[in-house]
Structure 1
């Protein structure tokens, strides 16, 4: 038996609720700044009540249920209630338009939508095209809403008896997370109870989480980061969770202090946004001891963040499909936060060439992660056997990300395979050019893409956001690159922008930049 055993989301939550029913579990600040709190015992009872309500609505083991919710307490209730009865959560981005939701509902064959009043019209507009949906439940709404069930009314008089619940096993699918589509439709990543248990155990041990800690969630709950690294980590050790409805760069550390968060998780863009705000020295007095982060941040920005806010940063690497974090910087060893870390517990990681063979020391190769599908790696893509077979080969997951390894075994992200620029026979990592641009004192953030070029296959175009109040010319930035890069890596042109198209967690959508450029040329 491995460390997961036969445990499920239901069993680990039940264990904590029985051992410490009065202990605070969820602290939530809504978008109006109003605070809410639930202890383990009350939360578990609400989960059981909602589980019974779902069963009465005809939700069966294996049914898919869409959670189209902002960060709120009901998200957690719905997630764990579905887990109790063998249902499968399909969390979606509240910014997804109706067409995108139609695809995910149709593809997953979802039978129920749980959402809020602000998004009802979106689902009404596609009702005729999504016949599998039998009901819609609305949360945080007082009173009745025509044609929609009210969450509070459903659970008000429900029983907490779980004797008649279906049998749920650790290998059962419990969530379907759709990855962002770029050139194709989003793929549905199937996750099991075992996946969540493993990730919680792995992260708790890696960052030395204790029951006295409180993970601090400002990233969207529909995303794997908030589920894997913050929620499950806390539950596995009986810690508590602090959640904000929305991320606020100006209030991040104030909210951490108000809610008592000790371990945070961010992406590169939110870190830059926090640094761009006027600094208040009082913010050094905050309870955060550690902030996990992913995606590239300039070295001077990392140093500034740690110094100003007196908090340790740890860069990690993971994706929806790896579930856990195969690479992370050590908490107590040498931190090299310009790297994405070293292999973590439970994974083997290597770099491979286009034939799947390991590359030599110092060479760039694709990150491949070895694990067990359905336990330490995703189970597979839903209704997409070809994509599953292309990604999972003999228990090795091919990530599509290029990296190199230094002499101490630290991995350094180079670029997405699809973001490598081909110029006159040379392979150029956009990430490297972005890093050089980010070192210029006037540059806040940079994104680099390849654009069609008749002579050299691709030319290099950079998009740049300047620091507030800063000015610099295109020529000066190109000269800055010439002094630090080989001639063939220097951008051909630079366009200044006020913001980039981004995913819900702040990741730059380079495919949107490419498409916008191509549209202007057609």
Structure 2
């Protein structure tokens, strides 16, 4: 395993790994004739990746890019995304991945907030980039990836002097917050390498064999899971990341088998949909040693392991800190929401509203730190340009996760719920406030409250409770109006953020200061989906 030192940078570690594991595959893409790139699949060896990264570094350097610059990458989940990231990071450039599902306003916000120096996009996404630039104040150069050979657009400003180090920003990943607009999590070289090291050394059923593992990841490269957690684990140990374009239940097992995957990553929705596939004699014809993920429903956990023959290791992590806790040592607590114990470098507590420890067995907010001496070591560096939010999250020397957990007498933590006003749909974090803000731009809406509602397939779905203005259509026209409201959101927000359920109500309960009381909208224990007049719009939620 490649060692990480106090002064290590991503470039240092990558080129050392390339020398140590030159003949191994670093990246692989499963064959898929229907995909627009690498339809026959591909394998990129460490040595070949190093050669490509060096050429990309030369091209970027010649154009003036270096320490202090920021480059947006809209390359979907192609392996080229990681090659460009490695090259840019080796030069000291910070990468800002862009979610291809962003609408123009969301995209423009990222451009402005991150103050990109360059935006590298696929030809197919050029119209989206141009639409975003028409709404943004900041105007970086846009370069089409397919036209790379024509030369890189010049850097708009000189690079800073010096070389990248462990504290140099490597990525800015945008994560939804309760304020409506996403926050930019700044992740350093040290953070990203430490994340891979933590994964590689968790041990137990998650033991990583050097130079052997092939990790199949269906999650996108603009999220922390695939681009950082799993990728650097493989890089540090000479393994291969098998990166597919997206999760497809009908192709999952074919791709896992054909790529000889030994580890798979999952979300709860992945497990649910795989169990819905017809049983087959080939269900256990694979090389998978374990699955690594979060959100499997307790009642499905044992059933999946029995049918497919490998353990699902439930973990906890977030963009701000992905050196994960995971339930990977025997005896595991299968069929619960257990996700691991505190480990060296990740101290954890469950606390009340006054930051006092709650008794074992009592729900409390999960707070974490590295140690008393170095609480923020290996965590995210900051929320970009938001010191108030950064310090608020770090109050009293502990990072406040916003997740409600229970610790049992053995020190095992169990996930209960999310304290923050966040909806978790198929692995995407959706800020309710952002959806509410868009709803309130509709001319017929007086008031809106957005919340999470349970979903058997996608973990959670977006529910919008709406109070209409006076003089709107009668009740028999509400279904059509709900569809119109859906389209109003769908045109401005990524498809997954639009309401999957809409419920019209005469009023939404508020406090004396007019703060909406979402918990009082529906009776305790009631399923909001069963409320009279609820409109189901889930069938309209599609990409494009």
TM-score, length of structure 2 as denominator length? 0.75
Contact 1:68–1:113 (CA under 8 A) maintained in structure 2: yes
Partner of 2:245: 245
Q: In the alignment, what sits opposite 2:418?
A: 416
Which blocks of at least 5 consecutive residues in structure 1 are unaligned? Answer: 142-149, 156-164, 421-429, 462-486, 505-522
- Higher mean C-alpha deviation, range 488-497 or range 211-220: 488-497
Cα deviation code 1:238-281 (max 9, x no counterpart): 11111112211111121011112111111111221222222323
Contact 1:61 1:166 in 2 (8 A): yes
**1:20 Cα deviation after fit:** 2.6
The alpha-carbon deviation at position 501 of structure 1 amounts to: 9.5
**Structure 2 partner of 1:328:** 326
Correspondence for 1:259: 259
Give the Å deviation of 1:63.
Answer: 0.9
1:34-81 deviations in whole A, cap 9, x for unaligned?
211111011011111111111222223111111112111110111101
Residues 334-381 of structure 1 deviation map (CA, whole Å, 9 limit, x = unaligned): 344521222234110001111222112222111001125664211110
**Which residue is 1:19 aligned to?**
20
**Consecutive unaligned residues in structure 2, runs of 5 or more:** 153-160, 423-450, 466-507, 512-516
Of 87, 93, 96, the match for 1:90: 96
Structure 2 counterparts to residues 106-255 of structure 1, below 5 A: 106-130=112-136, 132-139=138-145, 141=146, 150-152=147-149, 154=151, 167-181=163-177, 183-206=179-202, 207-210=206-209, 211-255=211-255
CA contact (8 A) 2:351 2:364 kept: yes
User: In structure 2, the residue corresponding to 1:318 is in which secondary structure?
Assistant: strand
Q: Which moved more, 1:233-242 or 1:297-306?
A: 297-306
User: What residue number does 2:310 align with?
Assistant: 311
Closer/same/farther in 2, CA of residues 168 and 458 from structure 1, 3 Å limit: closer
Q: Is the 8 A contact 2:105 2:135 kept in 1?
A: no
- The 3 A distance-change label for structure 1 pair 503 and 331 is farther
Q: Which residue of structure 2 lines up, in the alignment, with residue 45 of structure 1?
A: 51
In the alignment, is the contact (CA less than 8 A) between 1:366 and 1:403 conserved in 2?
yes
8 Å contact kept, 2:214–2:241: yes
Q: 1:227 to 1:287 in 2, by over 3 A?
A: same
SS of 1:390's equivalent? helix
Per the alignment, in what secondary structure is the counterpart of residue 189 of structure 1? strand
Does the CA-based 8 Å contact 1:195-1:374 persist in structure 2? no
**How far apart are the structure 2 equivalents of 1:413 and 1:234?**
27
Gap change, CA 1:497 and 1:22, over 3 Å in 2: same
Give the secondary-structure state (helix, strand or coil) at the position aligned to 1:125: helix
- For the structure 1 residues 285 and 173, does the alpha-carbon distance in structure 2 shift closer, same or farther, using more than 3 Å as the test? same
Kept after mapping to 2: 8 A contact 1:369/1:397: yes
Deviation at 1:450, TM superposition (A): 10
User: Conserved in 1, the CA contact under 8 Å of 2:71 and 2:95?
Assistant: yes
Change (3 A) 1:359 1:21: same
**Residue-by-residue CA offset, 1:449-488 (whole Å, 9 max, x unaligned):** 7964589974465xxxxxxxxxxxxxxxxxxxxxxxxx94
**Pairing 1:299–2:298 present:** yes
d(CA) in 2 for partners of 1:412, 1:399: 14
Equivalent of residue 400 in structure 1, options 402, 405, 417? 402
Match of 2:525 in 1: 489
CA distance in structure 2 between the partners assigned to 1:492 and 1:18 by the alignment: 57
Q: Could you list the per-position Cα deviations for residues 101-131 of structure 1 after superposition, in whole angstroms to 9, with x for gaps in the alignment?
A: 1111111110111111111011122335546
**Shift of residue 332, structure 1, vs aligned partner:** 4.2
Matches of 2:343 and 2:4, distance apart in 1: 15
The 1:78–1:395 alpha-carbon spacing in structure 2 relative to 1, beyond 3 Å, is farther
Hey, what's the Cα distance between the residues in 2 that align with 1:286 and 1:402? 36
Residues 457 and 383 of structure 1: CA distance in aligned 2, closer, same or farther (over 3 Å): closer
In structure 2, C-alpha distance between the alignment counterparts of 1:502 and 1:370, rounded to whole Å = 38
Which residue number corresponds to residue 471 of structure 1? none
Q: Does 1:80 align with 2:86?
A: yes
Match of 1:352 in 2: 351
Looking at structure 1, the residues matched to 257 and 462 of structure 2 have their Cα atoms a distance apart, in angstroms, of 37
What SS does structure 2 have at the residue aligned with 1:257?
A: helix
Residues 64, 109 of structure 1: 8 Å contact kept? yes
Q: 2:175, 2:319 within 8 Å by CA — same for their partners in 1?
A: yes
Sort the Cα spacing of 1:134 and 1:229 in 2 relative to 1 into closer, same or farther, 3 A.
closer
TM-score normalised according to structure 1 size:
0.77
How far has the Cα of 1:503 moved from its partner? Answer: 12
**Partner SS state of residue 261, structure 1:** coil
Cα deviation for residue 298 of structure 1 reads: 2.4
For 2:415 and 2:462, locate their aligned partners in 1 and report how far apart those are by CA, in whole Å. 15
